[in-house]
Amino acid sequence: MKDTEKKENETLEEVPTAAAAEAGPSAAVATEPAPAAPVDPETAAEPTPEAAPVPELSELEQAQAEAAEMKTRYLRAVADLENYRKRIGREKQDILRSAAAGVIEALLPVLDNMKLGLQAAENHPEAKDVTIGFKMVEDQLRRTLTEQGLEELIPDGEAFNPNLHECIAHQPSDEVAEDHVIQTVRAGYRLNERLIRAANVIVSSGTPKEET
């Protein structure tokens, strides 16, 4: 019995060896692992760090962020509304001033005629009572226009200003310096710092030159 078992074990041990011999040297090479390729440490790619996870906002933090955004929008809307109101107010004032300028400019010839009429009435003592009445009407009209921003320009003795005055003549003068107004022929007017009619003036050309 022992001899029989020994022979069977020897037979089993010889089988793999014979199979390997039949496969030849190529089979033995195939079973060996391939050597790894050399790695250059300088060119080797560094491991990509993983992105840090974005922490999720809690419901309270989300509500606070939304509240802050809504507050910013509210403040911006309030500022835009305030700017709109100011702009509309300025435009309204400009429209009213433009409309008033047209009416007042149309009344300027009336003021001129009333002034000339009162000057002519001073030479007629019999019309004194009528003159006083018209003078009161003129003063009331001028006072009303002044309250609307009208300013009368009578630059007698002042330096000539081409932005406000219109020179219609030059005259020599011993009393008035050169380039100063000797007389205002027709008054000028400004409405709310805007010139609506220049004053017609006579300008001094200086001391008269003696003829040789």
32-66 exposure pattern, b = at least 16 Cβ within 10 A, e = fewer = eeeeeeeeeeeeeeeeeeeeeeeeeeeeeeeeeee
Residue 13 above 50 pLDDT?
no
Mean pLDDT of the chain: 78
The DSSP symbol for 192 reads T
CA distance 159 to 201: 11
Cβ-Cβ contacts under 8 Å for 160 (sequence gap 6 or more): 167, 179, 180, 181, 201, 203
The arithmetic mean of pLDDT across residues 131-149, rounded, is 89
Residues forming a β-bridge with 186: 200
pLDDT at 22: 44
Cβ pair 179, 144 in contact under 8 A: no
Residue 97 above 80 pLDDT?
no
- At 22-46, the pLDDT tens digits run 444 444 444 455 555 555 555 444 5
3-class state of residue 10 by DSSP: helix
**Phi and psi at residue 49, to the nearest 5°:** -70, 140
- At 167-211, the pLDDT tens digits run 999 999 989 999 999 999 999 999 888 899 999 999 999 888 765
- At 151-160, the pLDDT tens digits run 999 999 999 9
3-class state of residue 196 by DSSP: strand
Going from N- to C-terminal start, the domains of the chain cover 67-148, 151-212
Transcribe 27-86 into DSSP letters: HHHHHSPPPPPP--TTTSPPPPPPPPPPPPPPHHHHHHHHHHHHHHHHHHHHHHHHHHHH
Q: What is the value of pTM for the model shown? A: 0.54
* CATH fold label, 151-212: Nucleotide Exchange Factor Grpe; Chain A, domain 2 (2.30.22)
Residue 18 above 90 pLDDT?
no
Q: What strand order describes the sheet that includes 199-204?
A: 165-171, 199-204, 181-186
Residue 129 above 50 pLDDT?
yes
pLDDT at 19: 43
Between 72 and 100, whose confidence is greater? 72
pLDDT at 17: 45
Between 103 and 57, whose confidence is greater? 103
